[in-house]
Amino acid sequence: MHRFFLDREDIIGQNTIQMKNPSSIHHLVRVLRIQNKEQVELISNDFVYLSEVHFISESEIVFDVIERSNHMNESDVSIDLFQCLPKGQKMELILQKNVELGVRHFYLVESKRCIVEFKPKDIPKKIERYEKIIKEASKQSKRDFIPEIEGVLSMNAVAELIAEYDLFLILYENEEQLSIKSCLKNQTFKNIAVLVGPEGGFDDAEIKKIEANGAKVVSLGKRILRTETAGFVATTCIQYESGGLE
């Protein structure tokens, strides 16, 4: 069954929903060739609506609401991913797979050893592209809402956000004492952040700065993981320990 997220212009009534968003209408009508009486899941910020197509036109699709239910597909723990800028097309893979794994908010981060640099004039266009990837991944993985993405943040800006989390983890290949498992085992957290470094790794001064502001520097094991892999592993560990994979 197709799943679509409702936008601000869409109108939710007592027993009907009027879809007005041009992009959603185009995709349903022109791409999916949806017909009357077909059922679709429509997602708002509050509910999931099992709906049936009642009327189709170029400007709107009207759905009859069959059933309304609460969100059921999100984990109890909120996970935010702070990702240092990678080179090439790696960011698209990072976003897509971490959406599937349940990340709720993405932050792009610029650190000292980042190989690439986003020019300010290019950032809005890149964010727009990333938002499309996140939205499509959210549909495919049956998320109950679309994660947001922000950036680009400096490491100093990241340090100022640490206090907002129950646990803020930095993945660091040189950490030899504290593992991610020991940080998560038999603990309950409502919101966790994960900071992943760039291809060149973190500068020691950056690690000290973030750690001094309350973050935990942890290891993912003896092997060195690529920047596009590390976030997947950390997010999966968190979901496993918090019951998000049950």
Q: What is the pLDDT of residue 80?
A: 98
CA distances from 39 to 7, 42, 62, 65, 81 (A): 19, 10, 12, 10, 34
Say whether both 120 and 233 belong to one domain: yes
Say whether both 90 and 181 belong to one domain: yes
Say whether both 210 and 114 belong to one domain: yes
Total number of domains constituting the chain? 2
Residue 107 confidence (pLDDT) above 90: yes
Say whether both 132 and 188 belong to one domain: yes
Q: Quote the domain boundaries for residue 215.
A: 78-242
Q: What is the pLDDT of residue 96?
A: 96
Over residues 69-84, the pLDDT tens digits come to 988 888 889 999 999 9
Asked which of 70, 94, 123 is the last residue of a domain, the reply is 70
Say whether both 14 and 120 belong to one domain: no
Say whether both 61 and 102 belong to one domain: no
Which CATH number belongs to the domain containing residue 202 in this structure?
A: 3.40.1280.10
Say whether both 126 and 150 belong to one domain: yes
Q: What is the pLDDT of residue 124?
A: 92
- For the entire predicted model, the pTM comes to 0.86
Say whether both 20 and 123 belong to one domain: no
Arithmetic mean of pLDDT, 15-20: 96
Over residues 41-71, the pLDDT tens digits come to 999 988 999 999 999 998 999 999 999 998 8
Over residues 126-181, the pLDDT tens digits come to 999 999 999 999 999 989 989 999 989 999 999 999 999 999 999 998 888 899 99
Arithmetic mean of pLDDT, 204-221: 93
